[in-house]
Structure 1
Amino acid sequence: MLSHLTTMAHPCLRAASVLLSLASVGLTVPAAAAAPTTAGSAPGGHCAGLQRVIVPSAAHQRASCLAELTTAGTVKSGHTDPADWAGLTPKALAVPVGVPGIQIDGYFPDTSATNTNHGWNHDAQFVLRLPDRWNGGLVVAGAPGNREQYANDRAISDWVLSRGYAYAATDKGNTGPAFYRDGDRPGDAIAEWNRRLTQLTRAARAVVAQRYHRPPARTLATGMSNGGYLVRWQLENHPELYDGGVDWEGALWRADGPNLFTFLPPALRHYPVYAAHGPAAEQARRAMHAAGYPAGSEFLWPYHHKVYWDLTQRIYREEMDPVFDGPAEAGTPYCTPGSAACDADYDYAARPAEVRRAVQRIALTGRIGKPLITIHGTLDVLLPISQDSDVYARMVRRAGRGGLHRYYRVEDGTHTDALVDTFPGRLRPLVPCHRSAFTALEEWLDHSHLPPASGTVPRPPTADAATLLTTCPLGR
């Protein structure tokens, strides 16, 4: 997602042979055929046929037999990177255990090298996890922000694995705050994100068929922020690959706006005036509200000014409009309005038509082709809800696809769940709402039980922190 854009490339993971890793093999050969069987326990028992599981089109892969695929084991075995998911979930989020199976790490052919995991210095990295006890389904995800392939491990992978799903995730083909260097023309780096998730989905479906001797009965896409954007795009452009998806506060890209460039520059201009507490502070606060930052979210503004707004504007603007600041890369941090090429003064509507054409290359339409559930927090001040999911829900309805969509506005949710720990009593985590949405999608697909009507999910006034971390009823 856009969250924690400052996450840089992380140290290499430890060797796959330590602790819970029971076997490991590196492979660069093409995919093998599979024969049909039934879902349930993996054929042949724990990790049988490990060396015959091949990722189609992968340039390199390493398969490991693990006693534990969740972060309860992969942190110790070196099969995840805790720095990649730092700050995305509350500290008290429970970690499931008891999921043995196969993990495959690898990469597809690519020309960029921002991802340093495993010492590979190679992008288009992926992770696939194949539990011994399989429910017949596959969940695929793209990394949030500019993080790597393990970023969803705590928020998504742990939970879906515990429910028996196979799981696959991609780094989207480029990582880090200089992701915009990837590609030859504006928009190339983000366009690659969509191609990489499509590529991974196709490959993961083939791997599932190899391991369990039958294709997945269901393939679901899910992800947060930039990962949620990928879910939207995939269901609009490749619905044939999926049965449905859950979009967790997906980023909205529209050539005519709103998009990041229509609401971030006002924050960069007006927040410093508001924070100075001078005679213009109240006018600046009203300008922030007008830009989409909701009343009542003011306590979140200092953190987002320090961590997110400035960097997000500069690096995404560099991706879509590199000529704005000439030969400089990603502008000047925290520049003063009125100074040369200052992103606080960025006026998207006044930029040349080629900028909108770059955005159009990755824009959303609302024309989803499979069921989609969207959740978004009302106190999101990185992707303000009025400028993002409220708009996308209207787009889906205008496209005539409203019957395929449910949209839940989660009261007091914000963009990153770790802020619930920073502001206890003022926010609610979205991770249980994502899980409620996911199970609602399952019921929708399994039994044609329609999810509750779209609407606002109120925060229970008497609920304690433990209750909010484990429950999130979406409606009656």
Structure 2
Amino acid sequence: MATATAAGVAPATVTAPAAVAVRAGSAGCPAPPRVPGAARQRVACLDELTTAGTVASGHTDPADWAGLTPKDLPTPSGVPGVQIDGYFPDTSTTNTNHGWRHDAQFVIRLPDRWNGGLVVSGTPGNREQYANDRAIGDWVLSRGYAFAATDKGNTGTSFQQDGRLPGDAVAEWNSRLTQLTRAARAVVAQRYHRPPARTLATGMSNGGYLVRWQLENHPELYDGGVDWEGTLWRADGPHLFTFLPPALRHYPVYAAGGPAAGAARDAMHAAGYPAGSEFLWPYHHAYYWGLTQRVYREELDPGYTGADADYDWAARPEEVRAAVDRIALTGRIGKPLITVHGTLDVLLPIARDSDVYARMVREAGRGGLHRYYRVEGGTHTDSLVDAFPDRLRPLVPCHRSAFTALEGWIGRGERPPASRTVPLPAGAGAAALLAGCRL
């Protein structure tokens, strides 16, 4: 496999788009835009671009976004337009959407009623290109934005097999979002006969990492971004390899009870897992910590052969640090960025992630371009709110508040509220917390 920018990759032949599906009651579809650089594209005119219609029409995959949003999140509707599915030249084959077995897949949605803007996003975790449809795509489309998303160039829990060198697969994520942003801006100009007035990047988890990286490395492509609990990578740590091994090591001792449980709990707190988050530890031990440590360790440190619970970042050889440094963040953002992160995140503990990134931005002299909202009661995955409605709050409304604050910041010069911890409103029920989030 090669990354999007690697030398020696012959461009694939571009196929003609599939026949355009005409909307019911429509006189026809606009001439289909061409996606620059795409090896394949399929165009459809749809009565509904949000998941209110794309689930039934087959233009999304609910498996991509399963488990990322609360079950009661409303679905907007009434957004007709054009959808383009396709892929860029690539040699890896983990993404099976459309039966293509081809990575570097993307989706671009162009609403008939356009507000002049474009939102681009990479997926959380190792999911495919529709993963943001419920949490982000539906809402921005309902506000009139064009929306584009990428699978980041490799997917699934074997993503680390993509590439030749440690770090290649993650480095490709960054180049694929850059590639899609450039292509989507050109597609918007074709469709609406003018370029986007504003281009915004946003995403959660690994998608939030991509927002940070893009604003540090390609600020010329964007007007701003919203980072939803982005993953932090830096050669000196902290990162996944400094706080996941302690969780794998100490949680089983804590869960077993007995005289050693108290010390194990204290060790978990010292590793960054906040006091009061203990009720979330069993789920994350069962489903997240071990898998996450393994797949990223195999990507960035494939030479390690010991138990993941025993992994010691400080003792690893210099070439491992160099692999992380290839994908590291610096804090040197070049456009306005708003970060939101839950205080009860126990996959990317806030004290070891966004607290550190906010400090990096300040130390890089870019603090005036950043706002950071620590959301009390938020955790990494919003679907857990359904299991613990009396202890957690969803982050999706806070992301939307951050997004509208960014619109005001870059569009009207209205500076967002100062960075702060957003308190959990006393006595607020699940419906009220899902309805809004005051930054």
Aligned AA (1:115): N
Aligned AA (1:397): R
Does residue 98 of structure 1 match 2:78? Answer: yes
Distance 1:194 1:50 in 2: 31
- The answer to whether the 8 A contact 1:46-1:132 is kept is no
Give the 5 Å matches for 1:423-442. Answer: 423-442=388-407
TM-score using structure 1 length: 0.87
Name 1:134's counterpart in structure 2.
Answer: 114
Query: 1:447, CA displacement in angstroms?
Result: 1.0
Distance 2:403 2:28 in 1: 28
- The answer to whether the 8 A contact 2:408-2:415 is kept is yes
The one of 97, 108, 113 aligned to 1:117: 97
Change (3 A) 1:17 1:271: farther
Query: 1:17, CA displacement in angstroms?
Result: 8.8
Aligned AA (2:199): T
Name 1:405's counterpart in structure 2.
Answer: 370
The one of 313, 329, 350 aligned to 2:315: 350
Query: 1:446, CA displacement in angstroms?
Result: 1.2
Distance 1:322 1:371 in 2: 36
Aligned AA (2:22): L
- The answer to whether the 8 A contact 2:22-2:29 is kept is no
Name 2:165's counterpart in structure 1.
Answer: 185
Change (3 A) 1:389 1:47: farther
What per-residue deviation string (whole Å, max 9, x for no partner) do you get for residues 452-471 of structure 1? Answer: 00000001011111110011
Query: 1:319, CA displacement in angstroms?
Result: 0.3
SS at match of 2:304: helix
Name 1:359's counterpart in structure 2.
Answer: 324
Aligned AA (1:219): T
Query: 1:424, CA displacement in angstroms?
Result: 1.5
Name 2:30's counterpart in structure 1.
Answer: 49
Distance 1:258 1:174 in 2: 25
Q: What percent of counterpart residues are identical? A: 80
- Structure 1 residue ranges without an equivalent (≥5): 1-15, 24-44, 326-340
- The answer to whether the 8 A contact 2:29-2:45 is kept is no
Name 1:460's counterpart in structure 2.
Answer: 425
Name 1:369's counterpart in structure 2.
Answer: 334
- Structure 2 residue ranges without an equivalent (≥5): 1-17
- The answer to whether the 8 A contact 1:301-1:381 is kept is yes
Query: 1:83, CA displacement in angstroms?
Result: 0.6
Name 2:38's counterpart in structure 1.
Answer: 58
- The answer to whether the 8 A contact 1:22-1:67 is kept is no
- The answer to whether the 8 A contact 1:114-1:176 is kept is yes
Does residue 229 of structure 1 match 2:209? Answer: yes
The one of 353, 377, 389 aligned to 2:354: 389
Change (3 A) 1:80 1:111: same
Name 1:217's counterpart in structure 2.
Answer: 197
Name 2:156's counterpart in structure 1.
Answer: 176
What per-residue deviation string (whole Å, max 9, x for no partner) do you get for residues 224-263 of structure 1? Answer: 0000000000000000000000000000000000000000
Query: 1:48, CA displacement in angstroms?
Result: 3.6
The one of 404, 414, 426 aligned to 1:449: 414
Name 2:7's counterpart in structure 1.
Answer: none
SS at match of 1:400: coil
The one of 251, 262, 269 aligned to 1:289: 269
SS at match of 1:449: coil
Aligned AA (1:113): T
Give the 5 Å matches for 1:28-47. Answer: none
What per-residue deviation string (whole Å, max 9, x for no partner) do you get for residues 138-170 of structure 1? Answer: 000001100000000000000000000000000
Distance 1:50 1:247 in 2: 34
Distance 2:31 2:378 in 1: 42
TM-score using structure 2 length: 0.94
Query: 1:49, CA displacement in angstroms?
Result: 2.5
Name 1:196's counterpart in structure 2.
Answer: 176
Name 1:89's counterpart in structure 2.
Answer: 69
Distance 2:318 2:31 in 1: 52
What per-residue deviation string (whole Å, max 9, x for no partner) do you get for residues 64-84 of structure 1? Answer: 000000000000000000011
Distance 2:124 2:258 in 1: 37
Distance 1:350 1:379 in 2: 29
- The answer to whether the 8 A contact 1:182-1:188 is kept is yes
Does residue 311 of structure 1 match 2:276? Answer: no
Aligned AA (2:242): T
Change (3 A) 1:73 1:238: same
Does residue 268 of structure 1 match 2:233? Answer: no
Aligned AA (2:148): A
What per-residue deviation string (whole Å, max 9, x for no partner) do you get for residues 295-319 of structure 1? Answer: 0000000000000000000000000
Structure 1 runs of 4+ aligned residues shifted over 4 Å read: none
- The answer to whether the 8 A contact 1:50-1:65 is kept is no
Does residue 470 of structure 1 match 2:435? Answer: yes
Distance 1:148 1:410 in 2: 27
Query: 1:22, CA displacement in angstroms?
Result: 3.2
- The answer to whether the 8 A contact 1:413-1:427 is kept is yes
Distance 1:461 1:298 in 2: 21
